[in-house]
Amino acid sequence: MKRLTIFFIVLASLSLLNCFSMGSVTGIGPQGFLFNGVTIGTGATSAQGNKVGQACSHTILMLVAVGDASIKEAAVEGQITNITSVDRKFFSLLGPIFTRACTVVRGD
C-alpha cells in the first residue's frame, strides 16, 4: 500500500511539473513531459514566401528565461517585409529542464 501511495504522489508531481513547464510556455498543442517537439501553424495567407526567419526564446530549469521570439524579430532575422505565414515551434527536454519556443515567419 505504501508503494502505491508513493507511486501516485510521484505521478501527480510529474503531472504538475508538466503543466508548469510547457503549459506556461506554449499554452497550445500537445505537450510531452520527457520530450516535446511540435510545430503549430498560427496564421497564413494563400501566398507562399521565398524567405524564412526564426526567433527563439529559451528557459532553463524554470529559473532563467531569455530570448525574443516575437514575429518582428523573426521577420528582421529573415529580412522579410511582407509576412505570409507564422508558425510556432516548441521543444522541451525533461519538462522544466530545458524548453525552447520559436516563431517562424515566411514571406518576401
What is the domain extent for residue 22?
2-107
Residues 21-42: tens digit of each pLDDT: 444 444 566 777 787 888 888 8
Q: How many domains does the chain have?
A: 1
Please answer whether residues 49 and 80 qualify as being in contact, where contact means their C-beta atoms are separated by less than 8 angstroms: yes
For 47-81, what is each residue's pLDDT tens digit?
Answer: 778 899 999 999 988 889 999 999 999 999 999 99
The three grid cell numbers given for residue 96, joined into one nine-digit string: 522544466
Query: Following DSSP, what letter does each residue of 10-78 receive, concatenated?
Result: HHHHHHHHHHHHHHHHT-SS---SSEEEEEEEEEE-SSPPSEEEEEEEEEETTTEEEE---HHHHHHHT
Q: Which three cell numbers stand for residue 17?
A: 511539473
